Amino acid sequence: MPTATPVLGLRERNRLRRTRRVERAALALALEYGVDDVTVDMICEASDISPRTYFNYFGTKEGALIGPAPSAPDEVLIEEFVQARGSIVEDLMLLIARGFFATEPDRDVFAMRRELYTKEPSLQALQVTRMADKRQATAALVRRRLADQFPDMPETEASDEAQLVMSVAMGAFPVISRLWIEQSGDEAEVETYIHAAIARIRRIVTP
Partner DNA sequence: TCAATTCTTGCAGTTACTGCACTTTTGCGT
Partner DNA sequence: ACGCAAAAGTGCAGTAACTGCAAGAATTGA
Q: Is 53 in the site for DNA (CB under 7 A)?
A: yes
Q: How far is CA 132 from CA 8, 89, 98, in A?
A: 32, 17, 18
Of these, 52, 85, 107, 203, which contacts DNA (CB under 7 A)? 52
Closer to a second copy by Cβ: residue 23 or 91: 91
Count of helix runs (H) and strand runs (E) in the chain: 11, 0
Q: In angstroms, rounded to a whole number, what is the distance separating the alpha carbons of residues 200 and 93?
A: 14
Partner from DNA, a second copy, none binding residue 139, C-beta < 5-8 Å depending on class: none
Q: What is the CA radius of gyration of the chain?
A: 19
31-34 long-range contacts, Cβ below 8 Å, gap at least 24? 31/112, 31/115, 31/116, 31/119, 34/120
The entry of a second copy, DNA, none near residue 10 (CB within 5 to 8 angstroms by kind) is DNA
61 binding partner (options a second copy, DNA, none; Cβ < 5 to 8 Å by kind): DNA
Alpha-carbon gap, residue 180 to 131, rounded angstroms: 19
- Please list every residue from 117 through 136 that binds a second copy, using CB under 8 A: 121-122, 124-126, 128-129, 132, 135
Q: Tell me which residues in 72-91 interact with DNA (CB under 7 A).
A: none
The answer to whether the beta carbons of residues 38 and 30 sit under 8 Å apart is yes
Candidate ranges 46-54, 118-126, 138-146, 177-185; the one touching DNA (CB under 7 A): 46-54
DSSP state for residue 172 in the 8-state scheme: H
Residue closer to DNA by CB (options 15, 119) is 15
Q: Pick the closer one to DNA by CB: 47 or 177.
A: 47
By the criterion CB under 7 A, which residues form the site for DNA?
A: 9-12, 14-15, 18, 38-41, 49-53, 55-57, 59-62
